Structure 1
Amino acid sequence: MLTDYLRDALFTAAWFGLMTGVWLGWAQEDPPRRWRGWLGAGSVLGIACALGFGAATGLNWGLDSALEGKYQWFGVLVTVEVVLAGGGCWWLARTRRSRWMAWWVAVVVAAHFLPLGWMLDDASIAVAGVVQLVALGALVPRLRRTKRTTSALVGAVMGGTLLAYALITAAVTLPVLLSS
């Protein structure tokens, strides 16, 4: 497995599946027409991961978690993430740059995976965050060349990476789950 904590792996697959639907849903704000079917299919697959692994998480809730004794710090991390994302979006709206909101929120989300990987004792989450940050940085020149919202490209990058992570976690975790 990617972590020694089965419950955390199950929850991460479920949560990343759910967030796949959120990000690919946001990408549907303004996508090229040919992307729509792929975005919808990815959303459905993400929601299926969320439901299946959400149920598995519930059935295995009694297992250990790397967050034991760190729940308050997890709360601080999430609070900081929400304040940074919301504050940045407020500033972007006030400065008439609201088309960059999806990109900004994605940067905050990807950056929060770095300390989250440490909290969950799972370096693969931090690696996912680094991959997302690099991809988001690489998108900037392309995003600057257009007046469209950033949501289609950003949502596809975030949703695609989260879905890939959820599916990899599922593939690695399912044999462990089925053997226990």
Structure 2
Amino acid sequence: MFTEFARDHAFTIAWFGLMTMVWFGWGQEDPPQRWRWRLGVGSALGVVLAGLFGYGVFTRWDEGSALEGRYGLFGILVLLEVAVAGAGCLVLWRRQQSRWMAWWVAAIVAVHFIGLAFLLNDWSLAALGGVQLVALVAVRPRLKSGDWPTSRLVGPVMGTSLLVFALLSAAIFLAGVGLPW
């Protein structure tokens, strides 16, 4: 992440760490046996990042944010995305295509990062969303050929992209700001 706001930077790393755990966790719905330990390690790394940088957010809570004066817009953006993700999942469930829910939610999350890039004025988030969308389109044919939940591939794709982004952001944070506490 490229931002002048240490609190936003720390929050993004912590949040992406938490979401790394969530996506690797969802990937554990039906993984091949040989992937299981990797998914667990990825989840654990995400938890460590969430804890370390979550504390960094706590210690910098009184510092500025790129969202100052735009918290309402951010809330509306997130609420709209959650509604679209939920509505899409409901449609998939009703059509007996619930195995596609992970793919659908991941696509909404990737688009969310592109929108968030404008709100936070950080184009690295748009790059992350773009990479995720390309990966989701790339795995779609393989997902269509199977009958297993899309989380099998989507969880690791999203978890890995978030973990890599969080680790790179953490390195930038450590080099520019120092320790998160």
- Consecutive unaligned residues of structure 1, counting only runs of 5 or more, are none
Give the corresponding residue for 1:159: 159
Quick one: which amino acid aligns to residue 118 of structure 1?
F
Shift of 1:62: 1.5
Instruction: Establish whether residue 175 from structure 1 lines up as the match of residue 163 from structure 2.
Output: no
Give the corresponding residue for 2:99: 99
Quick one: which amino acid aligns to residue 47 of structure 2?
I
Paired-residue identity, %:
54
TM-score w.r.t. structure 1 length? 0.97
Shift of 1:179: 7.8
Which runs of structure 2 are paired with 1:104-119 in the superposition (5 Å)? 104-119=104-119
Shift of 1:93: 0.3
Shift of 1:64: 1.1
Distance between the aligned counterparts of 1:10 and 1:176, measured in 2?
A: 12
Distance between the aligned counterparts of 2:52 and 2:179, measured in 1?
A: 17
- How many residue pairs get aligned? The number is 180
SS in 2 for 1:178: coil
CA offsets 1:56-81 (integer angstroms, 9 cap, x no match)? 11101111110001101100110011
Give the corresponding residue for 2:81: 81
Please identify runs of 4+ aligned residues in structure 1 that moved more than 3 A: none
Instruction: Establish whether residue 69 from structure 1 lines up as the match of residue 75 from structure 2.
Output: no
TM-score w.r.t. structure 2 length? 0.97
Quick one: which amino acid aligns to residue 165 of structure 2?
Y
Distance between the aligned counterparts of 1:157 and 1:5, measured in 2?
A: 28
CA offsets 1:8-40 (integer angstroms, 9 cap, x no match)? 111000000000000000000000110000000
Distance between the aligned counterparts of 2:73 and 2:139, measured in 1?
A: 32
CA offsets 1:90-119 (integer angstroms, 9 cap, x no match)? 000000100000000000011011110111
